[in-house]
Amino acid sequence: MKHRFLAASLLCFVLLFAGCESADDKRLKELKTILSESGLSGDSAAAALTGIDGARERFLFLVDAVLVEMEADPYLLKRVDKSMALPADYEPGDLVALDGSGLSLSRSGHRLRKPAFDALVVMSRAASAEGLTLLVSSTYRSYEYQKNVFARNVAEMGETEASRVSAAPGKSQHQLGTVVDFGSITDDFAETKAGRWLADNAGQFGFSLSFPKGMEALTGYVWESWHYRFIGGAAVNLQNEFFAGVQHDLMLFLDRLSRSKDRLTKR
């Protein structure tokens, strides 16, 4: 009788333990809920969830790394798109002048945020080592500057067309100070050596192509083979491994994540 009682107790204990969720399990479940609330298309969300199930530890690791970056530098991974604008008075506090940096520049007066500048210098050196020059053609643009760019485009081509090729003031990633337009700023750039090199290598240096080919319905913008946003290595890996390389979807997730941090179980 005593033995039977002990055996039953042991069984209960084992069952209880097996049914007990670990902190990682809980956190993963919460992150999946956040992902499904992020506004990704059904197909993209399903693909991301499948990827997460196949590489749980890796996903948790990268999310942790990105959360640390978001805490330290909230604007580095800030969502900026057609439906999410920056404040008109947002100007980064760590803009660095590119003049005299040794970078190849289209004109004087270019500026970038320090983390993007440092990464660009390293990337340009790597390109140089392979005999390529990365021409920097557009960098930080203030709200006021973007206002003029957009107004000029609207006057030239009308609002609908202007909105496909340029951002309204406040909605330009260039206001973040972490974006570089390279080369000719035309579709021909994609087929140049520099354009192909960037497509293959920019991610290794923390840069991400914001408006890929064939994604106008998603991003709101035509393909821009020259427009790269610095988001850092962990975010690039998260983007490539779980969001099919699509920065827009990553940003939707991170935006939702930044608003839901408080409900996450600690690891």
Nearer to Zn ion, 27 or 227 (CB): 227
Nearest approach in angstroms of CB 251 to Zn ion is 16
**Which lies closer to Zn ion via its Cβ, residue 132 or residue 176?**
176
Q: Considering beta carbons, is residue 69 or 181 the nearer one to Zn ion? A: 181
For the CB of residue 22, give the shortest distance to Zn ion in the complex, in Å.
Answer: 44
Find the part of the chain contacting Zn ion (CB under 5 A) among 6-14, 43-51, 176-184, 232-240.
176-184
* H-run or E-run covering 28: helix 23-36
Q: In the bound complex, what is the minimum distance in angstroms from residue 105's beta carbon to Zn ion?
A: 15
> CB 181 → Zn ion: shortest distance, Å?
4
Q: What is the DSSP string of 52-103?
A: HHH-HHHHHHHHHHHHHHHHH-TTTT---BTTBPPPTT---S-EEE-TTSS-
Question: Longest Cα pair distance anywhere in the chain, in angstroms?
Answer: 91
- Show contacts with Zn ion in window 51-70 (CB under 5 A): none
Given the complex with Zn ion, which of 113 and 227 has the nearer CB atom? 227
Q: In whole angstroms, how close is the CB of 47 to Zn ion at the nearest point?
A: 27
Tell me whether residue 27 or residue 229 sits nearer to Zn ion (CB atom): 229
How far apart are alpha carbons 200 and 187 in whole angstroms?
17
**In which element (H, E) is residue 117 found?**
helix 114-129
Q: Does 181 bind Zn ion (CB under 5 A)?
A: yes
Which residue of the chain is nearest Zn ion when measured via CB?
Answer: 227
- Angle, helix 42-54 to helix 56-72, in steps of 10 degrees: 110
Copy the structure tokens of residue 2.
């005593």
**∠ CA 228-218-63, rounded to 5°:** 65
Using rule CB under 5 A, residue 81 touches Zn ion: no
- In this structure, are residues 51 and 218 in contact, taking their beta carbons and an 8 Å threshold? no
Is residue 255 a contact residue for Zn ion (CB under 5 A)? no
Q: Which is nearer to Zn ion, 115 or 183 (CB)?
A: 183
Please list every residue from 25 through 44 that binds Zn ion, using CB under 5 A: none
User: What span, in angstroms and rounded, lies between the C-alpha atoms of 5 and 10?
Assistant: 9
- Pick out residues in 212-251 that bind Zn ion (CB under 5 A): 227
Q: Which residues bind Zn ion (CB under 5 A)?
A: 181, 227
